[in-house]
């Protein structure tokens, strides 16, 4: 650990949040002199304080320990590069339109890789009035079900969460052309062009 890099990062994040050393010290129940020492690189935060410090500063513990946020070039995100992440522990669904470090339940998540639909994950799309009626003949038990359906166009994401107790069918408003993603709890992410 490089205490001077960690200190410089703490100063930067503290100022970004318009906080004083005393503000952080009060939240951590320590003296502001300790915060000053960290910021001058004289010492590093105790391991027991890293979780709370991470929450206060709004960054991952790992980034505090590295002393660097490693900001990437701004690319504005692009819906063509949308990524889906699903937490295996709590089933949380997260999306990003650019490279991202995503974590949930204390674990890093990797982006799902979409496969072209197959016979057991076939999606039927029917035009009904101003909607798409989407239907899948898929098991919907507690251990094997379609968890979500997402329609992605060039500027929108419409994500619908499904649950084991319901049928794998839904209606969504007709939007421009796009891709339809479905996530099977056992077999992963599938994609269909619409």
Chain segment 101-125, per-residue pLDDT in tens: 888 888 889 999 999 988 889 999 9
Are 17 and 102 members of one domain?
Answer: no
CATH number for the domain spanning 29: value is: 1.10.260.40
Q: What are phi and psi of 184, to 5 degrees?
A: -95, 130
Q: Is residue 92 part of a domain?
A: yes
Cα–Cα dist 55/52, whole Å = 5
Chain segment 47-71, per-residue pLDDT in tens: 898 889 989 988 888 888 877 776 6
- For residue 134, which of 145, 125, 142 has the smallest C-alpha distance? 125
Are 39 and 89 members of one domain?
Answer: no
Instruction: Quote the pLDDT of residue 176.
Output: 76
Q: Is residue 72 part of a domain?
A: no
Instruction: Quote the pLDDT of residue 193.
Output: 66
Are 101 and 25 members of one domain?
Answer: no
Q: Is residue 150 part of a domain?
A: yes
Q: How many domains does the chain have?
A: 2
| Radius of gyration, alpha carbons of the chain | 22
Are 85 and 179 members of one domain?
Answer: yes
Q: Is residue 74 part of a domain?
A: no
Instruction: Quote the pLDDT of residue 73.
Output: 53
What range defines the domain where residue 163 resides? 79-193
- The segments of the chain whose pLDDT lies below 70 read 70-77, 193-194
Is residue 104 a contact partner of residue 90, using CB atoms and an 8 Å limit?
yes
- For residue 28, which of 41, 14, 18 has the smallest C-alpha distance? 14
Are 19 and 110 members of one domain?
Answer: no
Query: Residue 19 to residues 14, 16, 60: CA-CA distances in angstroms?
Result: 5, 8, 18
């Amino acid at each position: 650990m490089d205490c001077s890099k960690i200190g410089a990062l703490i100063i930067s994040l503290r100022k970004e949040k318009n906080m004083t050393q005393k503000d952080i010290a009060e939240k951590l129940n320590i003296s502001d002199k300790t915060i000053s020492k960290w910021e001058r690189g004289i010492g590093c935060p105790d391991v027991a304080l890293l979780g709370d410090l991470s929450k206060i500063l709004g960054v991952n513990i790992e980034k505090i320990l590295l002393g660097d946020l490693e900001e990437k070039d701004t690319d504005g995100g692009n819906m063509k590069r949308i990524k889906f992440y699903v937490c295996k522990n709590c089933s949380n669904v997260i999306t990003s339109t650019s490279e991202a470090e995503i974590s949930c339940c204390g674990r890093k998540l990797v982006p799902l890789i979409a496969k072209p639909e197959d016979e057991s994950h076939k999606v039927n799309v029917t035009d009904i009035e101003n909607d798409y009626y989407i239907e899948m003949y898929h098991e919907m038990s507690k251990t094997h079900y379609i968890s979500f359906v997402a329609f992605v166009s060039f500027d929108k994401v419409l994500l619908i969460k499904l649950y084991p107790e319901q049928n794998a069918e839904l209606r969504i408003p007709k939007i421009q052309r796009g891709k339809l993603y479905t996530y099977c709890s056992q077999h992963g992410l599938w994609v269909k062009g619409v």
